Chains A and B, each alone.
Chain A
Amino acid sequence: MALIDYLVQGGQMLLVLMLAPLLTGWVRWVKARLLRRRGPSPLQPYRDLVKLSRKEVVLADSASWLFRVAPYLIFAALWVAASLVPTFAGGLPFSWTADLIAIVALLGTARFFLALAGLDVGTSFGGIGSSREMMIASLAEPAMLMMVFTLSLLAGTTELSAVARFMLTADVGLRVSLALALLALVIVAIAENARIPVDNPATHLELTMVHEAMVLEYSGRHLALIELSSSLKLVLYLSLVACIFAPWGMASAGAGSAAYGYAAVIYVAKLALGGVLLALFESSIAKMRVFRVDQFLGAALMLGLLGALLLFVSRSL
């Protein structure tokens, strides 16, 4: 392994971290424009983060050490997960550390601690958020794993770099199962990132909120970390979609620095496009009742299962 590979690995980790607030700001900006508002600059989330991290933390009297540790744990889990998704370069030195299943499980670790943090202070809002988050996750995670199942049937691996490589070959063909997997992944991504129609990232005082209710008690640097983590999660899911379903332009390991730079530009363009699509989707749809969400996600689960079934058919002919 050349030194440059390690450098690119580190660069990828930093790139993800640096881009995360920008993507969130970008989506907000596009949404505002779609609603014919001017909207804050896409750089606003950076300013928010800096401002929040400088403020003192107001802790509830009943908060425990878990409440203070959780933001760091959540951030660490999500950052590790996000940096293990190949963004602009595949086959990097540490890409074998965790496969897609492990990445899904790392997201689970973050969610677990976030839900516990929601319960820690002992308020009704925190509880409502935690319990709904776990309900949503209980359907989203199997749907996600069904998607992994489909991919792994096709590509014969759960390593993301290898999947991306496979998707670039002509062996893939035109498959319903892939379309189904994409659909399932998108539904899961929307649910996991607390976007409309499952949750509304812009509300604070509404009984339908899920994610915001959990983090209601956080302030100061803790809140900054939580916000950064949710931005990271959005980047992670968009990178996942890009890496699996649109791996074009990704540099392979050992390519020259020019190739890496070119690939990075393409990656940023993919993220920007994903952000626009997300904003379009969010602006054109209404929020669901909480107890419609299970049908929405159940559909994703069934689509994933169906994808796996259909794949079995075409494989065994």
Chain B
Amino acid sequence: MLLTLLLVLLLVLLAAGGYGTVAPARPQGSRYLYSVSLAVCTVLLLLALAHLLSGREPLHLSLPLGLPWLGLHLRLDALSAFFLVVVNLGGAVASLFGLGYGAHEREPERVLPFYPAFLAGMNLVLLADDAFAFLFAWEFMSISSWALVMAHHREPANLRAGYLYLVMACFGTLALLLAFGLLAGVDGGYGFAAMRASQTPPALAALVLVLALLGAGSKAGLVPLHVWLPLAHPAAPSHVSALMSGVMTKVAVYGFIRIVFDLLGGESAVWWWGGLVLAAGGVTAVLGVLYALMQHDLKRLLAYHTVENIGIIFIGLGLALAFQANLMYFNAALALTAALFHVLNHSLFKSLLFLGAGAVLTATGERDMERLGGLIHRMPHTALAFLIGSAAISALPPLNGFVSEWMTFQAILNSPELPQWLLKFLVPAVGALLALSAALAAACFVKAFGITFLGRPRSPAAADAGETDRFSLSAMFVLAGLCLLAGVLPGLVVDGLGPVVGLLNGGARLTDQYHQPWLTLVPVGPLKSSYNGLLVMLFMAVSGVAAALLIHRFASSAVRRGPAWDCGFPDASPATQYTAGSFAQPIRRVFGSLVFQARERVTMPPPGDLRPARLEVELHDPVWERAYAPIAAAVIAVSTRANVLQYLTIRRYLSLVFGALVVLLLGMALWR
């Protein structure tokens, strides 16, 4: 029943997509469309949440669609319900934002038809219960998001981003297709139920893991498969960027979890699987944030930062795999809960930050942080929401980002019980990487918020910005409120995740948290570790307010405005402020020479020369230059060779076909 209802709602979204082709011509068209998306997403969100919290048995639905011998299988279990919550929460908020933001869209006909289709595609991936439906929905999601990336296709950078995205999406789907092929086995059981029931031989299972890591990882943005992500995500309109970064990457994580934890089954895990995923996650986390620190484009910075968070999620998943392989289900439950919690958190704050960047973009027309600044005076509400998002993503208590990273740390601290030596050393190293990435993330968001919103405006556009509309603001504040709520009441979220973790972890899950005094989070045991966001926030609020009241009451509350002190040499020009580039310079010096082979060159003209001094910074992208450039060069070399084939005579072509046929037949004869 419920599934049918969900399916109908998805059909409504698809119909809205159809309406989107004519909507731009109507006066209120885009508003209707976003309202419908908002309503549908909200209903889907509530239904999924109800299903998740009620803890009911999985629902099934089979329809005679799709491949004739397979049909279309849908299933709603705790895992898909949780991800439905994440996707539709993001979808609803992005639609709310779109209500205001859509009015600024220059080419609505390139956005409106694909937007609801994109939402429908993501939802369908989560519901699919056979390989065909899954891959179909996956491709549908990829293509519709590709169309949205290409919405502003007249900018050459976007063209490149779209091309790269298409190539990587094809690669990812290919990997997933092969993974499903291996899972289905020789009998061709393409339904997920059959895959779950069958035992995959260990060697093949390892291959499936690697393929799933490649396929889902390329969509999620695991290093070194991340190259398309920071180009494609910012190219789309901002609410779509929020969806792609905050939500679509989570669908990719879902794909990985579904294949590895559910279809393969954690029981068949071997310890080095965990090590592999863990190492990939650790490297991704640190490289992602280092890349982000080097960016001056606000949206691209956010996109690179998504890569970091995907790394953190995969660290949790890798730990869970390693624990499951050693039959330590309690620790696995902790790691899984941490990873899933971070999935939710990242979808909240990354969507929030992208929406904030979208608001800045509409207000100023700028994405380059070097030309922004001082927006906190012009856009105070956007600034507040963005600040909350920045603090949350930097893992600062009492907000939500901290809770999931704290839980990941707790899982890491339980790792010495792992018997394998390699893991024993890998896990502390990954812990150091995680700590490093958390600290760098704080630096990154001090830069993002500080340069964009604080200081003095660096361009006329920033000086004349105005606050964004009420729809956009309410969308941002909904997310900011949820960030705070999830940070202050983490126990409730952990309890909500219980059924999902139980499903993936052979029934083992964390103990219920809601009965803890003061809603404290006690994942392992009261003697091990506990954290209470509520009390931390209360204490902070009380002591801060008390200090303010006391000082204002008994000391002085006088304020005088004056020029900045600046050690006695205030400079009127905003150009003397620290810029994004100069803010990142110490970190570039410390880490950049190792990772990016960063070189700085200062050309100082001699005295009397009127030319400006120049500081040139040279950065190399290690992943692109070591991995992709050689592949691209090889592809070009091969295709240049093969280009000869394009200019043959008909007789030659026929003889080629003939030759191929004969060779094939010969091969068959010999093979038999």
Report A-B touching, CB under 8 Å: yes
Q: How far is the CA of A264 from the CA of B435 in the complex (A)?
A: 34
Decide if B536 touches A80 in the complex (CB within 8 Å): yes
Determine the residue in chain A with the shortest Cβ distance to B568. A205
Is B438 a contact partner of A77 (Cβ separation < 8 A)?
A: no
From B416, B450, B558, contact of A116 by CB (8 A): B450
A257 interfacial by beta-carbon distance below 8 Å: no
Contacts of A205 in B (CB 8 A): 567
Q: A7 at interface (Cβ–Cβ under 8 A)?
A: no
Q: Could you tell me the dominant secondary structure of chain B's interface residues?
A: helix
* Chain A residues with CB below 8 A from B394, complex form: 108, 112
Q: Give the chain B neighbours of A98 by CB distance below 8 A.
A: 397, 531-532, 536
A80 close to B543 (CB less than 8 A)? yes
The answer to whether A72 touches B387 (Cβ under 8 A) is: no
Q: Does A123 contact B (CB under 8 A)?
A: yes
Bound-state Cα–Cα, A158 to B566, Å: 42
State the CA gap A131–B383 with chains docked (Å). Answer: 20
Do B535 and A64 touch (CB < 8 A)? no
* Chain A proximity of B424: nearest CB distance (Å): 5
B587-A135 in contact (CB<8A): yes
Residue in contact with B527 in the complex, picked from A62, A137, A162, CB distance below 8 Å: A162
- Return B79 CB to nearest CB of chain A, in Å: 29
Cβ of B551 and Cβ of A53 under 8 Å apart?
yes
> Is A38 among interface residues, defined by CB-CB distance under 8 A?
no
A289 to chain B, nearest CB (A): 12
Given A105-B402, A134-B443, A135-B443, decide whether A124 and B578 contact each other with a Cβ distance below 8 A: yes
Judge whether B540 is part of the interface by a CB distance below 8 angstroms: yes
Q: A138-B587, A139-B439 are in contact. Are A65 and B543 (CB under 8 A)?
A: no
Q: Is the CB of A124 within 8 A of B547?
A: no
Considering the chains assembled together, what is the distance between the CA atoms of A31 and B578 in angstroms?
Answer: 34
Q: Give the contact stretch, choosing among A140-148, A167-175, A238-246, A271-279.
A: A140-148
B375-396 CB contacts (< 8 Å) to partner A? 376-377, 380, 383, 387, 391, 394-396
Bound state CA distance, A109 and B545, in angstroms?
A: 17
Q: Are A291 and B535 in contact (CB under 8 A)?
A: no
Q: Give Cα A60 to B425, complex, Å.
A: 51
Task: Mark contacts of A108-144 with chain B using CB atoms, 8 A cut-off: 1 yes-contact digit, 0 otherwise.
Answer: 1101100110011111111110111011011111100
Chain A contact-residue range equals 35 or more
Q: Does B454 contact A (CB under 8 A)?
A: yes
Q: Mark A28-49, 1 if CB is under 8 A from B, else 0.
A: 0000000000000000000000
* Among listed B68-76, B118-126, B569-577, B626-634, interface-contacting one: B569-577
Contact of B424 among A83, A123, A142, A312 (CB under 8 A): A312
- Given A59-B560, A60-B565, A135-B443: A142 in contact with B586 (beta carbons within 8 A): no
The answer to the question of B585 belonging to the interface, with a C-beta cut-off of 8 Å to chain A, is yes
The residues of B that contact A249 with a CB separation of less than 8 Å are none
* Assembly CA distance A63 to B562 (angstroms): 10
The stretch that binds A, out of B143-151, B230-238, B311-319, B426-434, is B426-434
A268 at the interface (CB under 8 A from B): no
B435 touches A65 (CB 8 A): no
- Contact of B186 with A by CB under 8 A: no
Identity of the chain A residue whose Cβ is nearest the Cβ of B534 in the assembled complex: A97
A133 vs B119: C-alpha distance when bound (angstroms): 42
User: Are A159 and B530 in touch, CB under 8 angstroms?
Assistant: yes
A280 at the binding interface (Cβ < 8 Å): no
Q: Is the CB of A73 within 8 A of B544?
A: yes
CB distance from B322 to the nearest CB of A (A): 15
A86 to B156, CA, bound (A): 59
Determine the chain A residues whose CB is within 8 A of the CB of B425 once the complex forms. Answer: 309, 312
- Residue B90 at the A interface, CB < 8 A? no
Chain A CB within 8 A of B589 CB: yes
Is B424 a contact partner of A137 (Cβ separation < 8 A)?
no
Known: A66-B376, A124-B578, A141-B438. A102 touches B450 (CB 8 A): no
B47 within 8 A of A: no
Q: Are A54 and B555 in contact (CB under 8 A)?
A: yes
Contact of A157 with B528 at beta-carbon distance under 8 Å, contacts A57-B558, A112-B394 already known: yes
Contacts of A308 in B (CB 8 A): 428
Known A-B contacts A131-B578, A131-B582; A119 and B556 likewise in contact (beta carbons under 8 Å): no
The A-contacting residues of B in range 568-602, CB under 8 angstroms, are: 570-571, 574, 576-578, 582-587, 589-590
B164 at the interface (CB under 8 A from A): no
In the complex with contacts A94-B535, A128-B578, A158-B413, A134-B526 CB distance below 8 A: no
When C-beta atoms are compared, the residue in chain B nearest to A100 turns out to be B529
- Interface pair B567/A125, CB less than 8 Å apart: yes
Q: How far is the CB of A241 from chain B (nearest CB, A)?
A: 20
B428 touches which of A77, A102, A135, A312 (Cβ 8 Å): A312
- Cβ of A5 within 8 Å of any chain B Cβ, yes or no, is no
- Asked if A221 meets B536 with Cβ closer than 8 Å, knowing A142-B432, A294-B590, the reply is no
CA–CA, A221 and B558, complex, Å: 10
Interchain CB contact under 8 A, B450 and A130? yes
The verdict on A131 contacting B564 (CB below 8 Å), with A112-B446, A122-B455 known, is: no
23 A–B pairs (Cβ distance < 8 Å), ordered by A: A66-B454, A75-B544, A76-B539, A76-B541, A79-B543, A97-B539, A101-B409, A105-B406, A108-B395, A108-B442, A122-B564, A122-B574, A124-B571, A124-B578, A130-B583, A131-B582, A137-B439, A138-B439, A217-B566, A221-B555, A225-B547, A309-B425, A312-B416
- List of 9 A-B pairs having minimum Cβ-Cβ separation, nearest first: A127-B578, A122-B455, A76-B544, A56-B558, A119-B450, A135-B586, A142-B435, A134-B443, A60-B564
- In addition to A96-B526, A127-B582, 18 A-B residue pairs with Cβ atoms within 8 Å of each other are A57-B558, A60-B561, A72-B545, A75-B547, A79-B543, A102-B397, A105-B397, A106-B536, A124-B566, A127-B455, A137-B443, A140-B439, A159-B530, A216-B566, A291-B589, A301-B432, A305-B432, A309-B425
